[in-house]
Structure 1
Amino acid sequence: MPVGEKVTVRIAPGVIAIEDQGPGVPPELRSRTFAPFARGR
């Protein structure tokens, strides 16, 4: 993460939300986001 970027973590009963200012997950990796042992390099 570049210096000066912001990460926000919010926790509520049953919900964890994490937000940042980055480019996001590339479309070709989105389907594997929550797969066990998935890696993106």
Structure 2
Amino acid sequence: MWLQIASVAGVASLATFCGMHSLTLSNYCLKTHLTLRNATGW
């Protein structure tokens, strides 16, 4: 019972962390892309 609750909580927190991390990463990539485009005039 407790193990099941712990694993569900672990999976949920891991999914939240990965979601936040990928969102941050995509924002960073977008900003980098826009900066490069502005710098090079693409």
Structure 1 length-normalised TM: 0.20
Work out which structure has the larger RCO, using CA pairs closer than 8 Å and 6 or more positions apart in sequence.
Answer: 1
Q: Which has the higher helix share?
A: 2
Q: Which has the higher strand share?
A: 1
Rg: which structure is higher?
Answer: 2
Structure 2 length-normalised TM: 0.19
